[in-house]
């Protein structure tokens, strides 16, 4: 039994949910998202909550049960509140700035890196060493943050590079004489 899958997903106030076959659509103040559930799980709307159940007792159906419930919960959270991921930049001369909607990064290369965010993603730079990625789709927000971090990931000796705000860099000891 899936502990996560057993719980029904409550539809938050201000969000309307519709189910058309296996497609769950959520509309809220931030926008509209949908999720198409696998055929091995059944999705029903009961008492202002979405209930997900496996169709068969197979291992494959049970593995998709909890994932489908979490995806539905994520689209509800996304259209109501949205998601945000914070990145920090460490290093002398490393900084970020906005150029219109594009993110311009100075990361020690011979040129500045310009990142163009996909549609539906907003990038803010409150400080030159801080980047905030926001959007309604959790997967896309995480993907954008990962792509920005990939330009110069944190290195273990001095901790220079782009890292997630909650990430802890395990430092190594340098060479000894």
Taking only the tens of pLDDT, the chain with its 177 residues reads 567 778 888 998 888 999 998 899 999 999 899 999 888 899 988 888 989 898 888 888 888 888 999 999 999 999 999 999 999 999 999 999 999 999 999 999 999 999 999 999 999 999 999 999 999 999 999 999 999 999 999 999 998 999 999 989 999 998 887
Contact of 157 with 169, CB cutoff 8 Å: no
Domain that holds residue 60: 3-80
Contact of 71 with 35, CB cutoff 8 Å: yes
Residue 138 lies in a domain: yes
Assigned token pair, 84: 């945000």
Do residue 73 and residue 9 come from a single domain?
yes
Q: Where does a domain end: 53, 80, 107?
A: 80
The structure's pTM equals: 0.87
Q: In what helix (H) or strand (E) does residue 75 lie, and over which residues does it extend?
A: helix 59-80
Contact of 55 with 40, CB cutoff 8 Å: yes
Do residue 17 and residue 67 come from a single domain?
yes
Residue 107 CA to residue 126 CA, distance in Å, equals: 18
pLDDT value of residue 125? 95
Do residue 29 and residue 44 come from a single domain?
yes
Provide the domain count of the chain: 2
């Amino acid at each position: 039994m899936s502990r996560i899958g057993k719980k029904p997903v409550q539809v938050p106030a201000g969000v309307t949910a519709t189910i058309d076959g296996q497609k769950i659509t959520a509309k809220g103040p931030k926008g509209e998202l949908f999720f198409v559930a696998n055929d091995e799980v059944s999705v029903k709307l009961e008492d202002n909550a979405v209930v997900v159940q496996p169709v068969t007792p197979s291992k494959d159906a049970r593995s998709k049960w909890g994932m489908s419930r979490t995806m539905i919960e994520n689209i509800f959270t996304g259209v109501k509140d949205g998601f945000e991921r914070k990145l920090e930049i460490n290093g002398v001369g490393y900084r970020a700035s906005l150029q219109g909607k594009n993110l311009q990064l100075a990361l020690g290369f011979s040129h500045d890196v310009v990142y163009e965010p996909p549609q539906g993603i907003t990038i803010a730079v409150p400080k030159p060493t801080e980047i905030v990625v926001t959007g309604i789709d959790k997967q896309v927000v995480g993907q954008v943050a990962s792509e920005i971090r990939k330009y110069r990931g944190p290195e273990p000796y001095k901790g220079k590079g782009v890292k997630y705000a909650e990430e802890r860099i395990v430092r190594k000891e340098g060479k000894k004489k």
